[in-house]
Structure 1
Amino acid sequence: MQADLGDLNAFLAVVRAGGFRGAARTSGLSASSLSEAIRRLEARLGVRLLHRTTRSVAPTEAGARLIERLAPALAEVEAAVEVVNAFRDRPAGTLRLNVPVVAVRLVLPSILPGFMAAYPDIKVDVVAEESFVDVLASGCDAGIRYEEKLEQDMIAVPIGPRVQRFATAAAPAYLDRRGRPERPRDLLGHACLIGRFASGAMTNPWEFERDGEVVRVEVQGPLVVSVGAATDLAVEMAVAGAGVIQLFEDWLRPHLATGALEPVLQDWWQPFSGPFLYYSGRRLVPPPLRAFLDYIKG
């Protein structure tokens, strides 16, 4: 049974956007055209693919099974077509990256301006997401993550700074009021600002390291924020004197430089390896991604 490729792409766009209006914005098609494409596809396949409500849509069980096979297949079709770019004088197309917010803040700003100047025919589409994802299923060419356990067919390439540190800090006024910790376990008596990942896991315990000794402290505090989406709120709360924060040193550096935040337990700040760009080894590397790989390796 044949299905129109355009209708399949429309179905995938609607599911990824969570609705017809969102898909219309990202695909350039009208909501009515997308709705008609889904109706044609459902009629051709003889099954219902979407649960529709007035506010959102969600795939049925049949729709979810179709997506599992469809997203990688369409990504492979797109990669095959983009191979033609190798015959152009300059690579062209779209580079889709799935990255955490910290990479948006601390990694990409030092890379993308030069890359986009060197490859003006490549459009960069960045999706900020904290959870580790299958880049093919998400419709992206590559992702950026920190020391994740990758599937065997994923390839990881270093990108950005190779060594970073977690910094612990608080506003001087807070430390004047509550005291300055001298050892990691002193934080048990302090108000700490904690992050929560999309998985539900907390950025707790906090880890410290000095002279090979690693100390983990189960901190407590008055505020929990979503990692990435609400991290800036935690930073601003720390600056306002609400408590102690532990975060990437580069993220806190502007506030440390102005004195709005004061380093805490600086001798114990823990270093860790920098991020990696990861992509699938199951597919041909599309020219935009190949150009990006060459750029960051150069």
Structure 2
Amino acid sequence: MSNLPLADLDAFATIARLRSFRAAGKVRGVSASSMSEAMRRLETQLGVRLFNRTTRSVTLTDAGERLLERLTPGLAEIETALDAINSFRDRPAGRLRLNVPGIVARNILPDIATRFLQAYPEITMEISVNDAFVDVLAEGHDAGVRYEEALHQDMIAIPLGPRHQSYVGAAAPAYIERRGMPSHPRELVHHEAVLHRFASGRTISWTFERDGETITVHPQPRMIAESIDLELAAVRAGLGIIFTFEEFLRDDLASGALLPVLPDWEQAFSGPFLYYPSRRYMPAPLKAFVDFLRHDRTSENRFICNRSVNVKLP
């Protein structure tokens, strides 16, 4: 067992994290068949099956779960040790692994990520999209991006992207012509809604606040989906009213394809934060990204403060 190849162990951890041979191969720059061969070698040496493979899914066996649990801290230590060499380089190199929600992946991160990678050509960025709060270290990520209400107080957080965002309502002209334009949130209980369901299975009620008055509405759903593209298609077809990130609706509202609903009741909130655990040795790619966000002045990040903050929640 002392001659187990480190590369195969790292390949195992990547497959286990992504639950896909193909996705793991893309991350490592090899084919899915190469990843499969590495796992055959590893399972042969260990004498146990590590994965249950079907045409639809890849899951860990009990032995695989135990190996991943014991292996993850060791691989992290090795990566940290190798990353320390970056301090002797002119420019940092390595892999930056982020976990971000869908709105950030679609509307905020593209511009930031491309400019960061152009500035640091020897850094590779690996991005997972997940709307649920995750333990970034346990999931194999260096950092995550979430909104303030989802941050834990033991995390270091710095602003990323716009400092203010809003939830807005919209409906197709055909729907408004058929059902009428609501003038108050309470009227929404008589309307049909297109709702978003998060990966956790949770859908959220619509909450409105104005002049000290807070109203929570549980609308009647005509569609519940986990895809903003499906939701927008339904709204454009006149199937109901949607309340979502203003960024998702901006073009449709500007073109007149959708009409604003209850614009005086828009919900404003702070923009997203990059969060990561407080630890003594920060990986060089993450440190470079944090410094980049702090000093970026070419986009909405010009509003970012110049110091990290510990986010305190009730």
Same fold (TM over 0.5): yes
Alignment of 1:46-57 (within 5 A): 46-53=47-54, 55-57=56-58
Alignment of 1:61-80 (within 5 A): 61-80=62-81
Alignment of 1:178-257 (within 5 A): 178-203=179-204, 205-226=205-226, 230-257=227-254
- What secondary structure does 1:155 align onto? strand
Counterparts in 2 of 1:269 and 1:30: CA distance versus 1, 3 Å: closer
- What secondary structure does 2:221 align onto? coil
Are the counterparts in 2 of residues 173 and 241 from structure 1 also a CA contact under 8 Å?
yes
Q: What displacement does 1:22 show?
A: 4.1
Q: What displacement does 1:273 show?
A: 1.6
Counterparts in 2 of 1:186 and 1:30: CA distance versus 1, 3 Å: closer
Counterparts in 2 of 1:81 and 1:268: CA distance versus 1, 3 Å: same
Task: Supply the AA of the counterpart residue of 2:277.
Answer: S
Are the counterparts in 2 of residues 99 and 145 from structure 1 also a CA contact under 8 Å?
yes
Deviation digits for residues 29-85 of structure 1 (CA, Å, limit 9, x no counterpart): 455554444344345545432223455432112211222332343233213212211
- What secondary structure does 1:160 align onto? coil
Q: What displacement does 1:288 show?
A: 1.4
Deviation digits for residues 205-251 of structure 1 (CA, Å, limit 9, x no counterpart): 1111101211100001211101xxx1122112212221100001122
2:300 is matched with: none
Query: Is residue 129 from structure 1 mapped to residue 126 from structure 2 by the alignment?
Result: no
Are the counterparts in 2 of residues 80 and 284 from structure 1 also a CA contact under 8 Å?
no
Counterparts in 2 of 1:222 and 1:142: CA distance versus 1, 3 Å: same
Distance in structure 1 (CA, Å) of the matches to 2:57 and 2:165:
41
1:287 is matched with: 284
1:270 is matched with: 267
Deviation digits for residues 127-169 of structure 1 (CA, Å, limit 9, x no counterpart): 2222222222333221111124445543221111122111011
Distance in structure 1 (CA, Å) of the matches to 2:200 and 2:32:
32
Structure 1 window deviating more from structure 2 (279-288 vs 178-187): it is: 279-288
Q: Point out where structure 1 has 5 or more consecutive residues left out of the alignment.
A: none
Counterparts in 2 of 1:72 and 1:153: CA distance versus 1, 3 Å: farther
Distance in structure 2 (CA, Å) of the matches to 1:202 and 1:99:
19
Counterparts in 2 of 1:297 and 1:234: CA distance versus 1, 3 Å: same
Distance in structure 2 (CA, Å) of the matches to 1:10 and 1:262:
50
Q: What displacement does 1:173 show?
A: 2.1
TM-score, normalized by length of structure 2? 0.85
Distance in structure 2 (CA, Å) of the matches to 1:105 and 1:19:
23
Distance in structure 2 (CA, Å) of the matches to 1:134 and 1:162:
24
Are the counterparts in 2 of residues 168 and 264 from structure 1 also a CA contact under 8 Å?
yes
Are the counterparts in 2 of residues 158 and 275 from structure 1 also a CA contact under 8 Å?
yes
Q: Point out where structure 2 has 5 or more consecutive residues left out of the alignment.
A: 296-314
1:258 is matched with: 255
Report how many residues are paired: 294
Counterparts in 2 of 1:239 and 1:112: CA distance versus 1, 3 Å: same
Task: Supply the AA of the counterpart residue of 1:200.
Answer: G
Among all aligned residue pairs of Structure 1 and Structure 2, give the percentage whose two residues are the same amino acid.
54
Task: Supply the AA of the counterpart residue of 2:275.
Answer: Y
Counterparts in 2 of 1:82 and 1:245: CA distance versus 1, 3 Å: same
Counterparts in 2 of 1:151 and 1:266: CA distance versus 1, 3 Å: closer
Q: What displacement does 1:290 show?
A: 0.8
Counterparts in 2 of 1:69 and 1:157: CA distance versus 1, 3 Å: farther
Alignment of 1:11-160 (within 5 A): 11-31=12-32, 33-53=34-54, 55-151=56-152, 153-160=154-161
Task: Supply the AA of the counterpart residue of 1:84.
Answer: I
Are the counterparts in 2 of residues 72 and 137 from structure 1 also a CA contact under 8 Å?
no
1:296 is matched with: 293
